[in-house]
Structure 1
């Protein structure tokens, strides 16, 4: 047996990645900007935990021309799967010059020191810090950078701190900071917008946009209905069905006490799989669209869920069935909210224990 049939017999959890939806989300991003603005793809952290090989294959077919990753190691791995441009967001690592050149990687230079050390060609980007205080040249350093460099960068970039909050004044402040540099150096090309930044409007697009999270189905506009297609479905195996009695407790630390008899399902998922411990007594799994609350602490490999309140017309799960963790009933963003975090952390926390199934119109 292969594909999903094999996974159904051996896997503790199933992670299905819809590559057609991924490609469609990239197409959606392209539809929001006007040529000649370039639309790239951010695939750092193993394509947000979904698997760089298969994701790159799908995005290559969708005609992505430039990729962004975080580190040189990620870039070297990605180079195995694409001949397109690859840039590293986290600067130019000292001592790694050979790797950048050998694998044709574009460094995003973030300091005067990095600009001084990159002596090979103009094939680089510069990052300016317009207000995040994280990485990049300060705006007042730009004149000095151009005086010292023997080349001009292909792009000058910055990164928005509050793009997921359209009303935040920081967005306009950062846009104006980058626009001021553009006024001084009008022949250069510029980039500011991430996924959420694309939705702030065309004045944020400049010459290149860098969508990441939205490609994978996360909501770039948290206060509105998600415009992206769902890419990820995560299901986990039921290991045991049993009854609890009034007064008994669930899990480590006895943090949940049953006030009445309950029917429980123990499932093969825990914090070692990326289901965060913050979901203890908070998160929900779903069976046929019905919520099943987590009771007790999330263990390393196991979760207990209460299936007592399923409607009478729904047959309850049995040992070997799979409960939905992420999917039609619960988005990654909704699950993340129950953890008190964001969808990025949910995706990038997913462990390799889940059997990955890549779904396309031509079959899994």
Structure 2
């Protein structure tokens, strides 16, 4: 079902009638996206990245939806996220991408979390936790293959393989790495990392391997190994610059129009008077701003192109600067009845993608999605209804 402004408006119940902005999250679509990706990568296993509160959409609702759909492997970042995920997916494999942070070892032992070990210090700490626990503990090894962020360098990987005592008490259940340029399919770095990963991961025979996230899984079966780790694609994002993932948008963002003002030619709009009307214009002021995660860079000055919103099925350009709580939009060319106070403008959805908004703001869709703030009222469409 299409998610347009009227759909969003219709789903605001009486007790939400004062909402200035909404995020409508289609849990059924997220589950369907996961199933489509699982079909694409079969026979590889398809996990789900649900860190950062399921990319800002609500892990308490997204994880159960994916778990019911059949997902049995979840990737989170922090110890707090690990605890929450375990309650929501009781018998799933849960991997903590940040590894052992603070007192994470105690939490991970208690909740059967698999830390992703990226340093020799992490390996030593988890081995000690296993000895104290009196039994082997599960973990993943993260190999750096060229991203130079988290990950064991090749010399440390070879050291672990040559001296099994260093992994005493650790049950290595996954060897993984992360691609640096998977969103650009023809980048030679993808092949370089694939070869490096194949070489180093072979030092741990019979251990499942994982290299691809949302964009990497689109590079083809050679990158799938035993498990893939989509995140952004689950929520309808298109990570690859060349190939379209078999997913559909699952998120609609809308904000209420507070006022529509008529201005004369030569009048300016917004802070620092960066945009000046060249004709008699109508300006709609919308109740969202950079405090809600709308990038300030999506605004525009005269002679520049910024972001857009959709009002009554029509695209309208953002004009002037985006401020903390407000966006100003030129609705001069829209029908009078389309833009009126109390109606909703679509910021994401109804043909305006997360990628569109990211490009307009000089960033990426990931940032648009994960920065959406708590002042937006979250509305959920449950796949069971």
Shorter-chain TM-score: what band? over 0.9
Give, in angstroms, the shift of residue 43 of structure 1.
0.2
Post-superposition CA distance 1:130-153 (Å, at most 9, x none): 000001111222231231211441
Maintained 8 Å contact 1:7/1:14: no
Tell me which residue corresponds to 1:317.
Answer: 339
1:44 aligns with 2:83: no
Structure 2 vs 1, CA of residues 81 and 172 (structure 1 numbering), >3 Å: closer, same or farther? same
Partner of 1:335: helix, strand, or coil?
A: helix
1:53 aligns with 2:60: yes
Alignment of 1:107-118 (within 5 A): 107-118=115-126
Post-superposition CA distance 1:31-89 (Å, at most 9, x none): 11232x22110000000010011101110111110100111111122223221221110
Q: Aligned partners of 1:183 and 1:236: how far apart in 2?
A: 51
Give the ranges of 4+ consecutive aligned residues of structure 1 lying more than 4 Å apart after TM superposition: none
Tell me which residue corresponds to 1:22.
Answer: 30
Give, in angstroms, the shift of residue 8 of structure 1.
5.3
Tell me which residue corresponds to 2:167.
Answer: 149
Coordinate RMSD, CA, aligned: 1.6
Give the counterpart of 2:14 among 6, 10, 17: 6
Give, in angstroms, the shift of residue 261 of structure 1.
1.0
Tell me which residue corresponds to 1:201.
Answer: 220
Post-superposition CA distance 1:153-178 (Å, at most 9, x none): 11111000011111000101111011
Give, in angstroms, the shift of residue 317 of structure 1.
1.7
Stretches of structure 1 that go unaligned for 5 or more consecutive residues are none
Give the counterpart of 2:317 among 276, 283, 293: 293
Tell me which residue corresponds to 1:356.
Answer: 378
Give, in angstroms, the shift of residue 96 of structure 1.
2.6
Give, in angstroms, the shift of residue 332 of structure 1.
0.7
Tell me which residue corresponds to 1:67.
Answer: 74
Point out the more displaced range, 7-16 or 219-228.
219-228
1:261 aligns with 2:280: yes
Maintained 8 Å contact 1:7/1:355: no
Partner of 1:175: helix, strand, or coil?
A: helix
If the length of structure 1 is used for normalisation, what is the TM-score? 0.95
Point out the more displaced range, 92-101 or 242-251.
92-101
Tell me which residue corresponds to 2:133.
Answer: none
Q: Aligned partners of 1:26 and 1:258: how far apart in 2?
A: 46
Tell me which residue corresponds to 2:148.
Answer: 133
Maintained 8 Å contact 1:115/1:145: no
Give, in angstroms, the shift of residue 97 of structure 1.
1.9
Post-superposition CA distance 1:275-325 (Å, at most 9, x none): 110111111111133111111110100111110012x5x732211000111
Give the counterpart of 1:185 among 185, 204, 214: 204
Give the counterpart of 1:284 among 308, 317, 326: 308
Q: Aligned partners of 1:294 and 1:355: how far apart in 2?
A: 22
Q: Aligned partners of 1:53 and 1:200: how far apart in 2?
A: 31
Give, in angstroms, the shift of residue 102 of structure 1.
1.6
How many residues are matched? 359
Maintained 8 Å contact 1:122/1:154: no
Q: Aligned partners of 2:357 and 2:266: how far apart in 1?
A: 29
Q: Aligned partners of 2:94 and 2:383: how far apart in 1?
A: 27
Partner of 2:219: helix, strand, or coil?
A: coil
Maintained 8 Å contact 1:191/1:207: yes
Give the counterpart of 1:347 among 369, 375, 378: 369
Give, in angstroms, the shift of residue 7 of structure 1.
6.0
If the length of structure 2 is used for normalisation, what is the TM-score? 0.90
Q: Aligned partners of 1:63 and 1:225: how far apart in 2?
A: 23
Give, in angstroms, the shift of residue 30 of structure 1.
0.6
Q: Aligned partners of 1:5 and 1:72: how far apart in 2?
A: 35
1:174 aligns with 2:157: no
Maintained 8 Å contact 2:24/2:379: yes
Give, in angstroms, the shift of residue 257 of structure 1.
0.9
Partner of 1:171: helix, strand, or coil?
A: helix
Stretches of structure 2 that go unaligned for 5 or more consecutive residues are 1-9, 131-135, 301-305
Tell me which residue corresponds to 2:99.
Answer: 91
Q: Aligned partners of 1:160 and 1:111: how far apart in 2?
A: 18
